[in-house]
Amino acid sequence: MRDVAIIGIGMTKFGELWEKSFRELGIEAGLKAIADAKISGDLLDALYVGNMSAGKLIEQEHVASLIVDYSGYASRHLPAVRVEAASASGGVAFYEAYLAVASGLYDFVMVGGAEKMTDVGDAESNRELCATADNEWESIFGATYASLFAMMARRHMYEYGTTEEQMAQVAVKNHRFGSKNPLAHFRNTLTLDQVLNSSPVATPIKTLDCAPVSDGAAALVLCPWDHARKFTDTPVKIAGIGLATDTIALHSRRDMCTMDAVVRASSRAYHMAGVAPKQVNIAEIHDCYTIAEIIEIEDLRLVKKGEGGKATAEGVTDMGGRVVVNPSGGLKARGQPAGAVGIAQVVEIVEQLRGEAKERQVQGAEVGLTLNIGGTGATAFVSILKREN
Amino acid sequence: MQIPRFWRQIPSRYNLIGVQCENCKRIYFPPRTVCPECHRLSVGKMLPYKLSGMGVVHAFTQIYEPADGFENQVPYIMAIIQLDEGPRITAQIVDCGIEDVKIGSRVEMVFRRLGEDGKAGIIYYGYKFRLCK
């Protein structure tokens, strides 16, 4: 297996982008990534696209061919693959693209993620998110996606004493970061009181504990590490990757307060990268609900099990803390176009490792991690990215 | 939901029929064709097993932003129930207020209406739970 580098990144604004179609979003992110890599699109050997639910959300399947076509490469008959793994679709597409380059099958690969979620109303986009749980044994009984995370939160509060204030701190932190990100869905800051007083969704989860549904796309250009310096002075190495699965239904998990798939995926990635959790400087993780960030920093072993809430309240994951979590604003503020999330996380880490994150820059960041989960944790993908001078 | 898709799960949804692996005796709900412990050794040996419907609340929430078709029940209580035989399942808790529900509360299964396909469509029935007296 060869080492693989990221040489190009591109991302659209995330948000309610009514003026832009799915294909326009995908193309915009891809063109930005190609421009950033300073390569010709003719060099690309293949395209991977992460997308959760275009069939339901815009009644369009077969989106990998669609994107190749509207990129102007239909006449080159470029190989193109769509990857679906719920909200981890982007992360798993990245995993597939990495394997394709590492194995030597392809040299230059574009991997993107795209989702158009606001062409339908909230009820329909929420139904799509519910479909990432076990439809026949969770959703049919009235469980919503939020209610499943709410039960994880309730159990975490019961076992570890986590509080609603600690969860709210995640939203406050991530909105403060998002306010500095020009591509974020939400650029407003929040106070603790605003979060705590927002209307209940599924107790103890409130409106401002939830990430929004967004439109958006993000893309990367990958190539073998040995070629990378021909294109950029600041290639970022994919030092480790890990993918893992777990039971589709939350109720069948070994422990509702632990995402075992996150533990496994991160173990695999840490091992491959030769990196210990304490060496991670920045992490972009899957805060679809504030409790998710608290559980995930524990399962990534960035903090001790049960101490995710306390660590958040103490500023361990804030700017200046031991590991800065979600400097982009996370799903909470940067936004949640499901299939694009896993790629957007990588875009942020690459910007940070290159030192190009401007107001959001975490000084001295050398090792970054991304965590993209599907459903309530039935899929988890972790990548570890490194700057190498 | 399409009628056959609901119909084929009626034994489990009406009567809490799960399966027991004849090989290791573990009990599962909902039914599985393969035992996650015994794998190939369990093929053809996952036999129907009727659960008692008794259990305790493992986690719960009160839903204010409902799933599709549950609008007229808001707010309603969802829970993950730890059944006495081992499996955990997701279901509503009914006939009580949220203040009465605690982690560890003893519950029993009741047979209730789950929903319907619009005004003229079929009505779905199945399990919910209530607090034991």
What domains can be seen in chain B, in order of their start residue?
A: 3-16+51-131 (2.40.50.840)
Contact B98 A203 (CB under 8 A): yes
- CA distances, A366 to each of A112, A236, A341, B112 (Å): 24, 10, 22, 57
Residue-wise pLDDT for A100-158, tens only, equals 999 999 999 999 999 999 999 888 888 888 889 999 999 999 999 999 999 999 999 99
Q: Is the pTM of this model over 0.95?
A: yes
Residue-wise pLDDT for B54-89, tens only, equals 999 999 999 999 998 899 999 999 999 999 999 999
- Cβ atoms of A260 and A373 within 8 Å: the answer is no
Interface of B with A in 102-131 (CB under 8 A): 103, 114-115, 124, 126, 128
Residue A251 exposure: Cα atoms within 13 Å on the Cβ side: 28
Give the ipTM: 0.97
Residue-wise pLDDT for A149-193, tens only, equals 999 999 999 999 999 999 999 999 999 999 999 999 999 999 999
Chain A hits for B14, CB-CB cut-off 8 Å, are none
Tokens of A149: 């995370």
- pLDDT 10s digit of each residue in chain B, 133 long? 678 888 888 899 999 999 999 999 999 999 999 999 999 999 999 999 999 999 999 999 999 999 988 999 999 999 999 999 999 999 999 999 999 999 999 999 999 999 888 778 888 999 999 999 8
Please tell me if residue B16 touches chain A, with a CB cutoff of 8 Å.
no
User: Which residues fall within 8 angstroms of residue A9, CB to CB, at 6 or more apart?
Assistant: A32, A33, A36, A218, A219, A220, A221, A346, A347, A350, A351
Tokens of A100: 């394709």
Contact B78 A123 (CB under 8 A): no
**How many other C-beta atoms lie within 10 A of the C-beta of residue A319?**
15
- CA distances, A226 to each of A2, A9, A110, A111 (Å): 9, 19, 17, 19
Pairing, β A109-115 against β A46-50: parallel
Distance between alpha carbon A360 and the CA centroid of its chain, in Å? 17
Is the domain spanning A4-120+213-228 CATH 3.40.47.10? The answer is yes
